[in-house]
């Protein structure tokens, strides 16, 4: 796999210790290839199509394998678009997975869990909270259904990373190359805007509770995106996302079991 070959960044260009110095974000500065504005629009259209394939009531084949189809297409469609506009270099958003990356996955998952629980508790005390219907249904599934549910979440959560990271890179390109914003400000802007968009795509999941999606989901997304900002490796943010959500799902199952025994 070919990785971004841009030179190491000067300390004043970085967000302090929030970024590794040895590797820069791909594409926004023409390294390793340049992606034009119209090409980014094509990729963003593919992001929208991938999301619609996931959420629209399309009559997929029944059973666990049928449920996997939209979950796999969700990341596959935008990644195919990226491969079209950056042939041979679309893999730049990926990186190696070693012991450090595994530790970071776990660390960011635990950090996100703590932050999400804290923000969620504060929000719950101040406003109405809408539960995730899929998580609620998990307690009523049999063992086979639960295994299928956890299996489907792997490509789906990877897809959530794809449809966050690609808009991040598009916004980073627009802010830095299009509007001449400095690198630090452009990174922060892309971080905030992509996190907001991530919260908004969860509106159907949380019964269109706008404030909850922006505040709670958006904040959780910022922590997960921090894993990407640090490493420029989508595997790290994906691993953190899967670990965090599986922890939440497991807690939901444990809670359902305890309620059933009461």
Give yes or no for a contact between 40 and 170, defined as CB atoms under 8 angstroms apart. yes
Q: Give the separation between CA 173 and CA 86, rounded to whole angstroms.
A: 14
pLDDT tens-digit map of 22-51 = 899 999 999 999 999 999 999 999 999 999
Q: Which helix (H) or strand (E) holds 14?
A: none
Predicted confidence (pLDDT) at residue 262 exceeds the cutoff of 50: no
Q: Which residues contact 140 (CB under 8 A, 6 or more apart)?
A: 256
Give the least confident one: 102-116, 138-152, 173-187, 224-238: 138-152
Cis peptide before 161 (omega within 30 of 0): no
Q: Give the separation between CA 26 and CA 43, rounded to whole angstroms.
A: 15
The number of residues making up the chain comes to: 262
Q: Which residues contact 22 (CB under 8 A, 6 or more apart)?
A: 8
Q: Give the separation between CA 6 and CA 182, rounded to whole angstroms.
A: 17
**What is the mean predicted confidence (pLDDT) over 92-110?**
98
User: Within the chain, what is the greatest distance between any pair of CA atoms?
Assistant: 61
- Domain chopping of the chain, boundaries: 99-261
pTM: 0.93
The pLDDT of residue 259: 42
């Amino acid at each position: 796999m070919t990785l971004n070959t841009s030179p190491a960044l000067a300390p004043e260009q970085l967000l302090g210790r929030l970024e590794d110095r040895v590797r820069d974000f791909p594409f926004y500065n023409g390294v390793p290839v340049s992606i034009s504005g119209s090409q980014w629009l094509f990729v963003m259209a593919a992001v929208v199509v991938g999301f619609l394939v996931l959420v629209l009531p399309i009559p997929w084949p029944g059973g666990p394998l049928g449920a996997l189809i939209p979950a796999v297409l969700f990341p596959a469609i935008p990644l195919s678009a990226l491969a079209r506009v950056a042939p041979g270099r679309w893999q730049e958003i990926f990186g190696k997975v070693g012991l450090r990356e595994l530790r970071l996955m776990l660390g960011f998952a635990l950090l996100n869990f703590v932050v999400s629980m804290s923000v969620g508790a504060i929000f719950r005390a101040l406003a109405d909270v809408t539960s995730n219907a899929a998580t609620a249904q998990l307690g009523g599934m049999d063992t086979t259904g639960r295994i299928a549910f956890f299996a489907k979440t792997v490509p789906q959560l990877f897809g959530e990373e794809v449809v966050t990271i690609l808009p991040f890179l598009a916004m980073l390109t627009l802010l830095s190359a299009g509007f001449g914003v400095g690198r630090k400000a452009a990174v922060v802007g892309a971080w905030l805007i992509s996190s907001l968009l991530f919260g908004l795509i969860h509106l159907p999941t949380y019964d269109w509770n706008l404030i909850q999606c922006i505040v709670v989901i958006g904040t959780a997304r910022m922590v997960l995106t921090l894993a990407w900002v640090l490493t420029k490796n989508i595997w790290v943010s994906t691993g953190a996302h899967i670990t965090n959500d599986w922890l939440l799902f497991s807690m939901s199952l444990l809670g359902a079991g305890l309620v059933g025994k009461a």
